[in-house]
Amino acid sequence: KAGVTQTPRYLIKTRGQQVTLSCSPISGHRSVSWYQQTPGQGLQFLFEYFSETQRNKGNFPGRFSGRQFSNSRSEMNVSTLELGDSALYLCASSQGVSGNTIYFGEGSWLTVV
């Protein structure tokens, strides 16, 4: 079956702009979680959505937000971009129940200039 699909793969934005990233999970998976990966901080958990509800949230400012649609597809949004937001943003999907593993997409590379 198809894996986790993220779009766009690469994008460049200017400071102060906003960006929306999209993720389509593996068919049948109801949980989508988002991670930020940077060389300095590694993989950091942003938030998780399950059945259109944010179920868990990491320690990121309110400029980072997300949502999930009824078909389990998810979007994350970053407003008022800062240079430090440049990172690889990874989406992961799972069935969302105890004992599950998470499967990552290829990520969206965001560069803020």
Partner 1 sequence: GQQLNQSPQSMFIQEGEDVSMNCTSSSIFNTWLWYKQDPGEGPVLLIALYKAGELTSNGRLTAQFGITRKDSFLNISASIPSDVGIYFCAGQESWDNYGQNFVFGPGTRLSVLP
Contact indicator for 94, 102 with CB cutoff of 8 Å:
yes
- 47-106 positions binding partner 1, by CB under 8 A: 48, 50, 55-56, 58-59, 90, 94, 96, 98-106
Minimum gap (Å) between residue 107 Cβ and partner 1: 5
Q: Whose Cβ is closer to partner 1: residue 15's or residue 57's?
A: 57
Bridge pairing between strands 19-24 and 74-78: antiparallel
Handedness of CA 60, 41, 106, 28 (dihedral sign): negative
Q: Whose Cβ is closer to partner 1: residue 24's or residue 33's?
A: 33
3-class DSSP state for residue 67? Answer: strand
Q: Whose Cβ is closer to partner 1: residue 14's or residue 99's?
A: 99
